[in-house]
Amino acid sequence: MKYHFCTFIFIVITSLSSIVSAQVGMPNAINAAFVNEKPKVDGVLNDEVWSRATKINNFTQRELKIGEPSSERTEVAIITTAQYLYVGVWCYDKQPDKIISKELKRDFNYDLDDNFTIIIDTYHDLRNGFMFVTNPNGARADLQVFNNGGTSNLYWNGVWNVITTRTDSGWFAEFEIPFYTLKYRTNVAEQVWGINFERNIRHKREQVLWQGWSRDNRIQQLNHAGTLTGLNSLSNKKYIEIKPYATAGGLLANNSDKLLLNAGGEVNYLLTPTYRLNLTFNTDFAQVESDQQQINLTRFPLFFPELREFFLEGEDYFNMGFGGNRIIPFYTRKIGLNEQRETVPIIAGARLLGKESNNTLGIMSIQTAAVDGQASTNYSALSWRNDIGKQSVLGAMTATKYESGRLHTTNALNGRYSTSKFLGNKNLDMGGAFIQVYNTDVGYKNETYAYRGFISYPNDRFAVYSSFQRGPMPFEPEAGLLIRRNFREGFTDISFKPRSRNKFKRVRQYEFKPASLTYAQYDDTKSIQTLEYRVQYFGADLKSGDKMVLNYTIVAEGLMNDFEISKNIIIAKNTYWWRQWEADVKTFRGRTFAVASNFIWGEFYDGMALRNRTDVFWRAGKYFNMSVRYEINEVKLSAGNFQTNLIGSRIEYAVSPNLFGSLLSQWNTNQDELNLNFRMRYIPKIGTDLYFIFNQLYNAGGGNISVKSTTVLAKLVWRFVL
């Protein structure tokens, strides 16, 4: 209790020292001009209909010179028809030859290029929105934002288009967004949406926003957005989207050839502009890229992120609010994948997502097929969330697993209080979650629960985060993932990030961490499970985009059992203490060549270790990018010495924003495996996709390389709207 009270006092003190005013620029509203005829979407913006729209141009710097007007003229105008929202963008640049734009593929890395971002809060609830990003090449990226920027879904893919042009005056963009891509209220007399815009001028490291340019905020924080009016002619037409797919190819493995043919699809029914029903049949994920391989030097299981679009698109709806990575109560990778990460066929599934008034509802049910002795299994989830006040939320969720007459449920309550007006205009978040599991074959048992609480002060100059969580030994969420078991853990991280004075003009911002402390105990014995105390002596983010960090860490690991860290090398159960240094250097990724390297050296259990991961990036141009990763671990212990190597490369190519692909290769000496994964994607029209996939797995043990399996597939997904 004393620990958390001290943290709170620290927050109050730092807040009082740095209160700033709200960042509102006038005008803070933009009106959409309604037109009957559609403009020609070509990025030229010379159609007569654009002359009917009022432009806004009051953009203000967030970086590098906060509060000053944009150094380059930026203008935005909006027009609508009954079916579409059009956004015209004029990004003037006095040095157009210095514009950085080397990305072209769908869902590009927009942090590396000049770009323009639109975020739209269709419910005007100041917390949820749709974000659309483009660069001067016309590449497209989009995502959904939830909880006022607290979480986001990077893998949401809406149906929309953008075309750009470049001239001696700068670059220009024309967005076309169908209203059915968005969700919005219908029970209002007048449509008023939240909206904001951001432009990044990479060669100047300049970032400008229309509204809310405080460094304590980001564009994802919709409570600082402006307003969009003039939307009183929206179509409320219901529609049905049908997306069938077909795959064809072959598998060659162990001298056994197999023909691969499959078909299925999805039906999306827009029940109302706020609720969408999604049905999936014989669901297929052939186009998903291979997992990034990892080397594990801990006694805890590895976490692999969800990569399948079907589950990613509704990810936030089924988040139990537990946060962190120790306990993941509902882990969708348990659905359709076994423990070896091999595919388990999905027969069918249904999902309903939407929001009405202040209530958000998510329902999902998936049935997997019986395979390799595993019975057909149903996974279902139901979530409800209620918006409270301006930024806070209260929610409940249940996830079930039904197999062979046995039902398992994981039930959760969660809440979050958030404000951006703490002692002025600072951000403050606090909340927690409680989770209980139940099995029909054994009923309720003692301590089959977990809980977590946190408080966060996430601001630019000072940042504090503190949490506490507990997961007793009997707690086992069968539709989830436990990174740690039988533990109770406290965590606190304190950062001080002053801005550079004129004396050090090359530094944008320093970062010092006097304390980052993790203390985990075994829940039953109260002995040390893990202790990690880290001090960041120095961190600097340069105006050039380069970064550097130096850390010193004290670590303790309490082993209740012997631990095999590498083949035939056993660390005996005991409590081990050690100290290590860490240095991290990253050069600006927007350049043609960039490097990121992380070094960790010092003591390790009862010996020594040197670990390094280095990534080299080559951005040759918008048609070709390449990266190479090399990770090495040299470990010397009393039980023996070993070395691991992980080598990976990624080649990305793009002919246009609608034709692109990648070649991923990975070699892991810890598993003696070499993997090649080639993917190509063609988008003949927005919403329709053609994929070509080539995957080859090699045995690479004993110095010999032999093909283990080869898969070749083509997949066509096409789209009809009724």
Residues 406, 355: Cα–Cα separation, whole Å:
32
Under the banding of pLDDT at 50, 70 and 90, the label for residue 594 is very high
> Where are any strands of DSSP class E within 122-169?
129-134, 140-146, 151-153, 161-167
236 against 628, higher pLDDT: 628
SS3 of residue 315 by DSSP: helix
Considering the entire predicted model, what is its pTM?
0.83
pLDDT of residue 255: 73
Going from the N-terminus, what domains does the chain have, and what CATH number goes with each?
Answer: 24-229 (2.60.40.1190)
For 481-509, write each residue's pLDDT tens digit: 999 999 999 999 999 999 877 667 789 89
For 164-187, write each residue's pLDDT tens digit: 999 999 999 999 999 888 888 777
Q: Which residues fall within 8 angstroms of residue 502, CB to CB, at 6 or more apart?
A: none
DSSP string of 619-652, one letter each residue:
EEETTEEEEEEEEEEEEEETTEEEEEEEEEEEEE
Under the banding of pLDDT at 50, 70 and 90, the label for residue 703 is low
Strands 33-34 vs 74-80: parallel, antiparallel or unpaired: parallel
pLDDT of residue 18: 39
Confirm if 486 and 558 have CB atoms less than 8 A apart.
no
Is the pLDDT assigned to residue 13 strictly greater than 70? Answer: no
Please tell me the number of Cα atoms within 13 Å of 521 on its side-chain side.
9
- Amino acid making up residue 101: S
Which of these ranges, 234-238, 323-327, 374-378, has the smallest mean pLDDT? Answer: 234-238
pLDDT of residue 17: 39
Sign for the pseudo-dihedral over CA of 192, 110, 583, 303? positive
pLDDT of residue 236: 63
DSSP string of 348-399, one letter each residue:
EEEEEEEEETTEEEEEEEEEEPPBTTBPPEEEEEEEEEEEETTTEEEEEEEE
Is the pLDDT assigned to residue 19 strictly greater than 60? Answer: no
Residues 269, 369: Cα–Cα separation, whole Å:
25
